[in-house]
Amino acid sequence: MDWSVQQIARIAGTTSRTLRHYDDIGLLKPSRTGGNGYRFYNQASLVRLQRILLLRDLALGLPAIAEVLDHEPDAARALARHLDWLRQEQDRLTRQIASVRQTLEGLKEGEPIMAEKMFDGFDHTRYKYEVEQRWGKDAYTEGDSWWRGMGPAEKDAWRERSRQLGSDWIAAAESGVATDSAEAQELARRQVDWLTGIPGTPASGSAAAGGDARGDGDVKGYVIGLGEMYVADPRFAANYGGETGAAFVRDALRIYAGRHL
């Protein structure tokens, strides 16, 4: 059975324009095109579209989604893994809802708050599936082990370093300096230096402060890709004052990568 563009757009809650764009960039080709130029999609196309939409929910950009699909062509196996993650996420959200509800009830009744129960479900491991999809299982395992191995003071220091870097980026963007200026490029160097301290990424251990980053992985592609992600993903853009600030970071990183990586 084939479905038309209009039918698929209605069923999947997307638009015909989006589907045509996916076709144009090679992300989702129709199973056949009629003599009148109309696109039609078969069951395999629908399965691929479901995977695309699931990955979009993780805020992956279209190039990253294409890489994930190419890396795992077995749709059944990929969907089974995604289903496992969805169930884990469902459980985490259920625990988080119960935790917040308990806090609200305590506040309304004027009862003591049970601190050990307030943060059930607030777990950094919720990013596990997303990290594994983007950079592989080893990236998550190494990064998770590194984070868990830190003491409270070390974690606070790392958070403060991240916060200060984001604040400096925002200030630079708002000051109107050019992305290729010495100030912006020094921030880009600090950003790359910061990334090298996160195990499991292509930049991990590939550069020392002030030096060029030349690791075994595609560090240049990784840094440029992260810059694009900062703009595309609102969660990351918020760290740089929104989409405009994130675009400033992206452009500065692209220049730095071209010169030094």
Percent of the chain with pLDDT over 90: 28
Strand partners, 33: 39
pLDDT in tens, 137-186: 665 566 667 777 778 888 888 888 888 898 899 999 989 999 999 999 99
Rank 88-97, 107-116, 134-143, 209-218 by mean pLDDT and report only the highest: 88-97
Domains observed in the chain: 3-71 (1.10.1660.10), 75-128 (no CATH), 150-260 (1.10.490)
- Pairwise CA distance, residues 29 & 49, whole Å: 10
The structure tokens 């009148």 sit at 36
Helices in 110-240 by DSSP H: which ranges?
A: 115-118, 128-135, 137-148, 152-175, 182-195, 219-232, 234-237
- Pairwise CA distance, residues 115 & 71, whole Å: 43
Which residue type sits at 106? G
For the chain, the residue count is 261
